[in-house]
A and B are shown apart, each in its own frame.
Chain A
Amino acid sequence: EGQLVESGGGLVQPGESLRLSCAASGFGFSNYWMSWVRQAPGKGLEWVANIKYDGSEKNYVDSVKGRFTISRDNAKNSLYLEMNSLRAEDMAVYYCARDQWQQLIVWGQGTLVTVSS
């Protein structure tokens, strides 16, 4: 069913930017919707964004609209999440996942984003 590996997390100050990447392998990446899901420390799962297989449709949770941008490069089997104007409430582990009718079939191991001054 494939593998997903996230990278790019780290410690940033409020208002700064970060770009997460997700490398896919072992499945036809260009055929699938993909999603980003986050989990704040000690909290539940929150769907952040998803993107259609060809990149023509992108959707976001209200709390990140205008600040986050999801994108993909099918030639590189890669998914991205550009995060701007980061806030303390964005601090979480971010997972990328293969999305099939809003069911997350394969998950990455996650990358931690820490927002703190």
Chain B
Amino acid sequence: QSALTQPASVSGSPGQSITISCTGTSSDVGDYNYVSWYQQHPGKAPKLIISDVNKRPSGVSNRFSGSKSGNTASLTISGLQAEDEADYYCSSYTSRSTLGIFGGGTKLTVL
């Protein structure tokens, strides 16, 4: 099945805010609130940072927030820090498959 669409890269300076979009369809992002975001540093396993569109697991900084409008979900990181430099993946429940689907990933560079 088709992946969710994310920008390949975004960048921002320390202290700034950035937003990463994740566009799907009415069969996934648009119709279900099971949208999640994962942070992956080089050589490390992915880590859940947002679930259910906008819920932060315990221990995740409140600088990370999630939202959704129509078929597009978004991850916003405020007060950018050097440690935020990583790859970010979105994922969604989909009615078109018995497995979830991922976005292609976005590389965040902190300038």
Chain A residues engaging chain B, CB cutoff 8 angstroms: 1, 35, 44-47, 49-50, 59-61, 95, 99-110
**B100 is an interface residue with CB less than 8 A from chain A:** yes
Partner of B57, one of A35, A46, A105: A105
Residues of B within 8 A of A61 (CB): 99
**B65 is an interface residue with CB less than 8 A from chain A:** no
Cross-chain contact A102 with B93 (CB below 8 angstroms) = yes
**B64 is an interface residue with CB less than 8 A from chain A:** no
- The DSSP consensus for interface residues of chain B is loop
Q: How far is the CA of A105 from the CA of B91 in the complex (A)?
A: 12
Residues of B within 8 A of A44 (CB): 3, 89, 102-105
Q: For chain B, which range describes its interface: under 10, 10 to 19, 20 to 34, or 35 or more residues? A: 20 to 34
Cross-chain contact A45 with B46 (CB below 8 angstroms) = yes
For this complex, 17 residue pairs linking A to B, each with C-beta atoms less than 8 Å apart, are A44-B3, A45-B46, A45-B89, A59-B97, A61-B99, A95-B45, A95-B46, A101-B93, A102-B91, A102-B100, A103-B36, A103-B48, A103-B91, A103-B93, A104-B36, A107-B46, A109-B45
Residues of A within 8 A of B52 (CB): 103
User: Which residues of chain B from 21 to 53 have a CB within 8 Å of any chain A CB?
Assistant: 34, 36, 38, 45-48, 51-52
Q: How far is the CA of A1 from the CA of B48 in the complex (A)?
A: 12
**B98 is an interface residue with CB less than 8 A from chain A:** yes
- The DSSP consensus for interface residues of chain A is strand
Q: Separation in Å of the B88 CB from the closest CB of chain A?
A: 11
Cross-chain contact B45 with A107 (CB below 8 angstroms) = yes
